[in-house]
Chains A and B, each alone.
Chain A
Amino acid sequence: MASIVIFALVEIAPGDPASFMLGINAQEDTISALRAELGLDQPKISRYFSWIGGMLTGDFGISYTYRTNVTEMVGDRLWISLPLAIYSLVLSTVIAIPTGIYAAAKRGKTGDVAVISATQFGIAVPNFWFAIILVGIFAIKLQWFSAGGFPGWQHGLFNGITSLTLPAIALALPQAAILSRIMRSALIETLGEDYIRTARAKGLSVWQTIWRHALRNALIPVLTIIGLQFSFLLAGAIIIEQVFYLPGLGRLVFQAITQRDLIVVESVVMLLVSAVILINFIVDIAYMLADPRLRLDSI
């Protein structure tokens, strides 16, 4: 269903790829020749079906601009975008979960207020601005990291990771802030439940109760958010990739849009949408595993 929408959206777009490719001064018949070659003159329906057919077999078609296999291009970019997304997600989770738990446990006291204030800032900061500042301080002034670009994995794992560090931090900051608040509010909500009171009545201390009872239940909604964040990180890095000149999926899409490279745009968006659907599905399964009430044999 989604594919139809994508296709329609892109097709409606004004701007003929062929004329764009050949430049403003091209002749009329050259344009039509190119269009014929690219298959643009065929009726929309048949093009749609050949696109879908191709996708299912892993063949995304040929990019208009680069004349190379879209699958290859996407594959290359994926090697950057995926690790970046994972890196950011890990950073964000590692910071957010403990701070969220801490804030919930110390609710109303100084520790909590500190965390809330920090997260408020974190959410308000645009990640690309933060990226620019980071580059200014760490790359240019202190020279700890490079200001951009990616040397490629073939130059070693360590080099790869260092060049992804600044972008990952920039991406992770607002996400960590959001996640931390969600963790905090989910935990506070769980702590207000009756079974927590029962656990305390059994003799468990506050921290034991949190660890053994509250956390398991509070993490359930947090899981959904982590899933959402991962989908966002894959696609949302588009601006960060601009800042750091990283040849990732985001930049690919961006360039493809500006160059009216329809096939690439459609394919990448389709890929991202599928990723989102897949992640949601995984989260749903995780829910079912975590919460016995959702399992099949119960009402």
Chain B
Amino acid sequence: MRFIRINMSSQEISVEPVPSEYLWLGGRGLISLYIHDHVPPTCDPLGPENTLLFAPGLLGGTQLANTSRIAVGAKSPLTGTIKESNAGGTFGDAAGRLGITAIIIEGRSRKDQSWLLKVDVSGEARLVPANEYKGMRTYALVKALFKLYGSHNAIMCIGPAGEQMLHAASIQSTDTKGRPCRAAGRGGLGAVMGSKGLKAIVLDSGGRATDAIADPEAFEKAAKDFTQAVRSNPFSGEVMPKFGTAGLVAPVNSMGGFPSYNATKGVFKGWEKISGEHMAELIAKRGGKTGHQGCSKCVIQCSNEFVDAGGKYVTSSLEYETIWSMGGMTGIDDLDTIARLDFLCDDLGIDTMSTGVGVAVAMDAGYKSFGDGQAAVDMVEEIAKGTELGRVLGNGPEAVGKYFNHSRVPVVKGQSISGYDPRAMQGNAVTYATSPMGADHTAGNVVAEYVTGKLDPLKTEGQVAASRHHQIIMAVVDSIGLCVLASHVLSTQEGGQAFIKAINAKLGTTLEMTSLTELGIRILKAERAFNRKAGFTNKDDRLPRFFYEEPLPPHNTVVKISDEDMDKTFEF
């Protein structure tokens, strides 16, 4: 396993063995520790001193199910913090099988130069001039690249949003059907990639060189048991395959915690029309697909292919968070409009969540009416056009709030919350406020504790401990390359045991679950240390004022976690 280091200023490429201090690290753990060690915390995220890393998980490329996530990281232009964002699709698995521990992008090319990075099946990397692809949207781009290099490749790329260095720009990733519809969405890493002059990375999918598995027989058994644990669980075995993450719309609305109309209500009036159940019915009727496998080695198969009334492809995969941000937050209760917005964001290479929340802030400010689907589409199209409003929207919800002089902006450290209102889920209030990543549900979502009755979502008791626990687990999950939708089985006896056995069989170690906890803590400490040096203090671990002051119907609660308790989150 090795580092591939690319200096975009000199176009020099070097392949290096992984330094000993980074052995046994992958994904987010590798990225965060590397950034902590090597990136100046006060650097300009869009300048040459920032480093952009792509790292498959520690078990990426192996046969372990659902472990093919690709982690991407840098200092974020949206939050100013360290940032890791991970994506599904085929890139992570391809990188693992090519024996890549990390692709490290340094420096910055000249402003008029655009490049793509090609890695062959032998693992050899080269930079290819890519000026002819400037301005290309991602669907047209991957079509051209597959034509040039063949379909046996996995691609991550930016669209016009990343080229414009907009702070909410994503890096799109190709799925099993070669569509750029998966995203490393959060934190504007697409802008970092654009700032370096890198348009796309194309990896050959035919790699076979992973590290030897220390005990192949034990690994195979553990992998089988892990698959069984994932499949037999009602959430990952039934809800996700049948309804996708859209299956969360009904539960979260039922709990009164679906931030709607720019987070002024906890139940969205039209929610049943945008639920996973309704979406599955609509897709089936129109000849689209649910239960689709979008990512390598996935046994959950939560993806969908959304089609229009004529059966024509619109987008893949339509996810809960997009339905929330483009539907609940904006008041749009029409799946066809939401699906179109999803496609637009993928094609432009911009985070659907930041964009939907930005549109919602604009609507709340009176720019357009809630529920105006055409207005939302027009606003997102402005991002492609590079208009003044498009640039504002593309720079995230905080930029939109400032532009319209509107104070109800649901962000922490510049990044928007997600589809779980902190006033109705006090544990997620803690995660949003304290995560080193800014407001981020995948950093430590507490919802499972509420649904299983372990914690009361409206009370303060136990929330800090729960958030801490989930943040630690997710730091590990993001380092192994495990999909968040499979990660909940780690809390079961069968799932947790199978997982640790797989790790030990792969690495030849005798780790216990406690070792994983130590790893998670180590990662979080490094991330927080970086943020401190970047200028962040405890005062930044707070939610916007309105969450503490505006009760959210129907429960009519506010965030009740005290500042003092927030500050205890990282007392390990």
A binds B: no
A residues adjacent to B (C-beta < 8 A): none
